[in-house]
Structure formats: structure tokens, C-alpha cells
Amino acid sequence: MKNSSNNRNIVFLGTSLPRECGIATFTQDLLDEFEHIQGFNKPRIIAINNNETYHYQEQVMREIDQYKLSDYIDTADYLDLSDVDLLVIQHEFGIYGGESGEYLIPFVERLSIPYIVIFHTVLTKPSAKQRHIMNRVAELSVKVVTMAKSSVKDLISIYGIDATKVTFIHHGVPYVKTESRSKLKEQYGFANRKVLSTFGFLSPGKGIEYSIEAMREVVKQHPDSLYIIFGKTHPVVKQETGEVYRQKLMDLVKEFDLNHNVLFVDKLLTQEEVIQSLVMSDVYITPYLGKDQAVSGTLAYGVGYGRVIVSTPYRYAEEMLAEGRGLLANFRDSASLEACILQLLDNPTMIKEMENRTLELGRTMLWSEIAKTYATIFQEKITISELANRSVI
């Protein structure tokens, strides 16, 4: 695995593309950026598999069956005998086996190489099991990363994690060169229209029905407005309930006579298409229902590209849209969403000012910058580990 005796070997543990999962995309984006950073060989991935079969690229060095505890134990032994310098664990309760992903505990307890854990979900009211898992995984780690400032204090006070281990790093955003907003609108057939959008996997927790309902009144004052809902139904939701939620949304569009003003794009967007959809948008909307959401990759992308954002006040949105970077509407309240949207569409100057403020933060969130922060931490922790091992010997 080692191409150069001086370069560090990093391995990520989590889901991997082509599995349709936000963590898989996050890992791929970070991994790709490390090809441009000196001092590291190209990182590899240990992929956590569910019951599907995936055709992975060569970067996947090993696979773990999510539901097979022996796979975790065997992989820990494999890593301890390898030349891997550092493991990066992407943590989300649902991708690991056992209750709330508890199979991760015997894995980290057996592991002797240093690892960093990135917590993608930080619940404010975890179950006893969830709290124990995160506490134990953090305890044996050399560093804990969260992507929301508000989660730092929660990791310390709720999960009992050592404050000196916890650090905040923004969710990364890919850089994709695109045409201008007006040219993209023209290219996609939306010239002279005010484009509002939402992207990501469809699931009932996204609250898109409230945005559609808000459009009823918006179109009375802005008949040229178009709300585009980009994305496939979430694979887990589709497996459990089929297209019930999407059909419910489509029925609402028909009921409210919004066929001219609401468009569904039922596909998994490429990275380029995601960025084009954002650049093309005048307003980006995240009407999510869950107050506890600590991080949203889609919202991070919206901020990264300086969009004006209307959102419900879940934790990550409150943090990212502070200081005039967007507008917050009430949960499950189409009238509140409508008021925010109209406030923006009626005031182009406000949109421009918000875009500038949001872009100022967004520029700091590009993966090229975020990866450098990770690289510094990786090098530091590997060096400390090597020194500790020498002193033991």
C-alpha cells in the first residue's frame, strides 16, 4: 500500500460510492482532495456494506458486512498488522451493525493504530446506548471532529467527551466551475423565471409539502416563480414505503394547480449538476422538520455557493444562517415559508446583500481549504503516536 517511505497512509471507514449515501459522498470528496496534498499516499476506504452489492473502485481496500460482527474484529486485526498510519471513522448510527451501531465498540477496542472519529450526527437527546457508543468511540480516539459549532458543547456536556479532543471543522463543499446564473437558466429552459430549489434524497422528514403549499400564494404575486425539487427518493425510504411520499407531493402540486410552478427532477444528481442547480437558484430552501439536525450537507453546499437560503430553524440552519445569511421560517408552517420567500422575491437588493454575506463564509468551506485542516490534524496525530510508541519501546 505504501508508495513512498515518507508518505502517510490514511484509511477511511464508512460507506463508499457508488452506494447512495451522503457519508459516501463526503468521504469521496475528502479523499479526492488528498491527491493534491503532499505527504500522503492516496487514501483508501474500508467500505461498510448493507444488504446490497456494490461495484467499488480500487480505492476500496476491504469490505465489512454491516451485520457481521466477525468482519469488524477481522478488520481491526488486519489494520493492526498493516502499514496504515491513521484510520478515520465516519460515524453515523445507522451504517454500523448492532443496536444503534454498537458493533463499532468491539472494533475500536481491538484496534491498536490511532484513529480519528468524525461525528455526522450529534443528538441532543440520545438513548443510553447511543450516548455510550459515542462516548466509548471518542474515548479511544486521538481526535473527535464535529461539523457544527453548536455540537462542540454537546459532545462535552451530553456525551462526556474530553474537551481537549473535540474540534470543529466545517462540512466541505466541492469547487465546480459553472456558467453564470442567467446562462444556466437559459441552458435549462428557465430563462426569465425566479428559481427556488431544494436538492437531496426525498424523505418525509424533509418537509417539502410545506414549501409546495407556500408556493400557492407566492405564485399569485410572482407567477414566473418555479420551485424545483431535485433528487431521488432516499433508498431506505423507497425500500420500506416505495414512492408514497413523492406521490403525496405530486398530488399536492396537482391539487394546488401548480404544475407550471413546481418541477420534480427524479434523479441522483452528479456533483456538477448539484452545483449547477444551486448556481441557477435565486433562493434555496430547506424546510426540514427535525429541530435536532446538527449538520446538513445540502445546506452546507448552499452556503458554499453563496445562495440566499430560506430554512426552518433546525440547529445547523440557525448556526449557518446567522448574521444575515438567510431567513428562518417556522417549522411545519407554509405561511411562514411563504412570507420569507416573498420578502426576498420582492426585494432583489436584499437577495444581493445576503448572497455576498453567505459567500464570504462559503469561500472558507471549499474542500481545498477543509482538506488542509484535516491534513494538519492527521500529521500531528500520527507524529504524536509514533513518538509515544518509541518511548514505550
pLDDT tens, position by position, 213-245: 999 999 999 999 999 999 999 988 998 999 999
Place domain 181-365 in its CATH homologous superfamily.
Glycogen Phosphorylase B; (3.40.50.2000)
Classify residue 157 by burial, with Cβ atoms within 10 Å: 0-12, 13-18, 19+.
exposed
- Ranges of the chain whose pLDDT falls below 50: 1-4, 392-393
Which three cell numbers mark 233? 427518493
**Across the strands, what pairs with 358?**
none
pLDDT at residue 5, rounded to an integer: 58
**Across the strands, what pairs with 175?**
none
pLDDT at residue 295, rounded to an integer: 87
pLDDT at residue 389, rounded to an integer: 76
pLDDT at residue 393, rounded to an integer: 45
Does this chain's domain 10-172+366-392 share its CATH topology with 181-365? yes
Classify residue 105 by burial, with Cβ atoms within 10 Å: 0-12, 13-18, 19+.
middle
pLDDT at residue 388, rounded to an integer: 83
Q: Which letter, b or e, does each residue of 50-76 get, where b requires 16 or more Cβ atoms within 10 Å of its Cβ?
A: beeebeeeebbbbbbebeeeebbeebb
Which three cell numbers mark 266? 427524479
Return the CATH number of the domain spanning residue range 10-172+366-392. Answer: 3.40.50.2000
Question: What pTM does this model have?
Answer: 0.91
84 vs 202: CA distance, rounded Å: 37
- Sketch the domain layout of the chain as residue ranges: 10-172+366-392, 181-365
pLDDT in tens, 296-336: 999 999 999 999 999 999 999 999 999 999 999 999 999 99
- Contacting residues for 178 by C-beta, under 8 A, at least 6 apart: 184, 272, 275, 276, 279
Q: Where are the alpha helices (DSSP H) in the chain?
A: 22-33, 69-80, 104-110, 128-139, 149-157, 181-188, 208-221, 235-241, 244-255, 271-280, 297-304, 315-320, 334-345, 348-362, 367-392
